[in-house]
Amino acid sequence: MLRKLCCVILLIIQRNTESTRVIGECRTVVQGEDVDLSCRLIERTQELKQITWLKSTKDEKHNLMLIHPNGVTGFVVPNGLAGRVQLIGNPSENLGSIRITAVRLLDEGTFTWIFNVFPSGAYNTEISLTVLVPPVVSVTVDVTPVIGEKEVILATCVAAGAKPQADVKWKTGTFGSLLKTVTNSTQHANGTTTVLSHLLGVPTRAANQQQVQCVVNQSALATDRIFNYTIDIHYPPQAVNITLSETSQTSVLCVADGNPQPNYTLSRVGQSWPGSSVRAEGGTLILLSLSSELNGLCVCEASNPYGRATGFLYVHTSCETSAACWVLLVVILCLIVAAPALLWSSPLPGIITARRNRRTG
Ligand SMILES: *[C@@H]1O[C@H](CO)[C@@H](O)[C@H](O)[C@H]1NC(C)=O
Ligand SMILES: *[C@@H]1O[C@H](CO)[C@@H](O)[C@H](O)[C@H]1NC(C)=O
Ligand SMILES: *[C@@H]1O[C@H](CO)[C@@H](O)[C@H](O)[C@H]1NC(C)=O
Ligand SMILES: *[C@@H]1O[C@H](CO)[C@@H](O)[C@H](O)[C@H]1NC(C)=O
Ligand SMILES: *[C@@H]1O[C@H](CO)[C@@H](O)[C@H](O)[C@H]1NC(C)=O
Ligand SMILES: *[C@@H]1O[C@H](CO)[C@@H](O)[C@H](O)[C@H]1NC(C)=O
């Protein structure tokens, strides 16, 4: 019986408050944006004495601001909101609305307005504010993969410090059938989450320069974000390609495929060239004056931190018949990868006997 009576009393009280207050809706805002928290006392017949505004989080409750009927405000505890909050409502019209500019994650919580009216007392309005934090995305690789047969991490897509947790996917096209993904996430104390999505595969030369995309989707983002990434796989220089160019200047070009781009060293076996007749610029040897002084076996060594490859070129110039000189080149390709010692220990005469003259006379 007593219980029933209590319920009836409670109902009456609730009715009373319902008719006088606006129950605040829940507001969700992206960090950095502004938000208006609207609250209004519907009861107009009573006299407003003061509005108190307070904020509660799961750990604490603070009085934040006092608002007098004439619109004068007084801060009690700014609680990180100093300079970022303004009264946008008009207390004389029973409006206690506020605007928070550049919302931070710490602003999250439940805001309560207490309207003190005469004669009936206090009425509450509550608004809960949820702050979304977009992820900070980067696509990287900690250690550049080196060509090999074991599966390694080819790229990592990081969606850091997001609230709620971001959804991270890879788009890899046809190449993707050879890959797999492993996703890991870490929850931070402030409620944000960092997601790491690793793309794993065998580091082959074919995988180098393949385009992949990391697609991140999260409620603070208006649309999916796409981040392009080019897979980078390091490998030693492959076969050295030596060609003769006879455009403006006669030169010898030395090219080898390697990642990172190889360094080239051009030299002559046995003796160095006379300084005035050649100039070496990276992988190019410019023949400045064509004379028999240049004759000999020239070596081009391409190297990067993973190995080296060597190519040989037999240079023979002929100036007997006329003023014009001919350059005869015999190219012998020789591949020596990741074994510098082999170059000098291998039987060089064997290589020389393998040469062929393409042009004679
Ligand atoms: C994922 O996280 C766990 C725990 O932090 C760690 O042990 C594991 O190595 C991580 N996996 C990858 C692929 O990074
Ligand atoms: C949340 O915490 C993480 C880890 O401490 C930090 O890196 C991040 O900046 C924080 N985010 C916000 C919005 O405060
Ligand atoms: C993420 O994408 C999926 C489908 O692509 C969609 O269903 C979901 O609503 C998206 N999530 C967000 C937070 O945008
Ligand atoms: C990413 O790659 C796609 C095609 O693969 C291209 O259309 C797009 O412009 C690229 N985006 C950026 C930012 O480079
Ligand atoms: C060597 O160079 C020639 C001419 O530039 C080219 O046709 C050939 O494909 C190259 N070979 C290699 C292995 O790079
Ligand atoms: C290539 O040359 C650069 C500049 O001369 C040098 O710093 C680098 O160590 C060289 N790399 C190799 C693999 O020799």
Residue-wise pLDDT for 137-188, tens only, equals 999 999 999 999 999 999 999 999 999 999 999 999 888 888 999 999 999 9
Same fold, 136-230 and 240-353: yes
Atom of ligand 5 nearest to the CA of 257: 14
Structure tokens at 351: 């290589």
- Check: CATH 2.60.40.10 for 136-230? yes
Classify domain 26-132 at the CATH class level.
mainly beta
Ligand 5 pocket check for 239: Cβ under 6 Å: yes
Decide: 88 and 97 in contact? Cβ < 8 Å.
Answer: yes
d(CA 67, CA 220): 33
Q: Which of 12-16, 39-43, 70-74 has the highest mean pLDDT?
A: 70-74
Q: How far is the CA of 164 from the centre of ligand 3 (A)?
A: 13
pLDDT of residue 355: 33
Instruction: State how beta strands 225-230 and 85-87 pair.
Output: unpaired
- Cα–Cα distances in angstroms (integers) from residue 347 to residues 43, 315, 344, 350, in the given order: 104, 20, 8, 5
Ligand 2 pocket check for 133: Cβ under 6 Å: yes
Nearest residue (CA) to ligand 1, atom 4: 184
Strand partners, 105: none
Q: Using omega within 30 degrees of 0 as the cis cutoff, is the peptide bond preceding 260 cis?
A: yes
- Structural domain boundaries of the chain? 26-132, 136-230, 240-353
In the sheet that 98-100 helps form, which strands lie side by side, from edge to edge? 35-37, 98-100, 85-87
Q: Other C-beta atoms within 10 Å of 128: how many?
A: 16
Ligand 1 pocket check for 187: Cβ under 6 Å: no
Best of 205, 241, 332 to mutate for ligand 5, by most ligand atoms within 8 A of CB? Answer: 241
* pLDDT band with cut points at 50, 70 and 90 for residue 90: confident
CATH architecture for residues 240-353: Sandwich (2.60)
Ligand 5 pocket check for 243: Cβ under 6 Å: yes
Region for residue 322 given its phi and psi (left: phi exceeds 0; alpha: psi -120 to 50; beta: otherwise): beta
DSSP 40: B
Lowest mean pLDDT among 60-74, 207-221, 280-294: 280-294
Instruction: Assess whether pLDDT exceeds 70 at residue 102.
Output: yes
Burial 44-60 (b: 16+ CB within 10 A, else e): eebebeebbbbbeeeee
d(CA 107, CA 78): 11
pLDDT of residue 301: 92
Nearest residue to 217 via CA among 167, 162, 156 = 167
Strand partners, 226: 215
pLDDT of residue 287: 81
Average per-residue pLDDT for the chain: 81
pLDDT digits (tens, 9 = 90+) for 281-326: 888 888 887 777 778 888 899 999 999 999 888 887 766 544 566 6
Region for residue 307 given its phi and psi (left: phi exceeds 0; alpha: psi -120 to 50; beta: otherwise): left
Best of 263, 264, 337 to mutate for ligand 6, by most ligand atoms within 8 A of CB? Answer: 263
- Cα–Cα distances in angstroms (integers) from residue 216 to residues 130, 166, 177, in the given order: 21, 7, 20
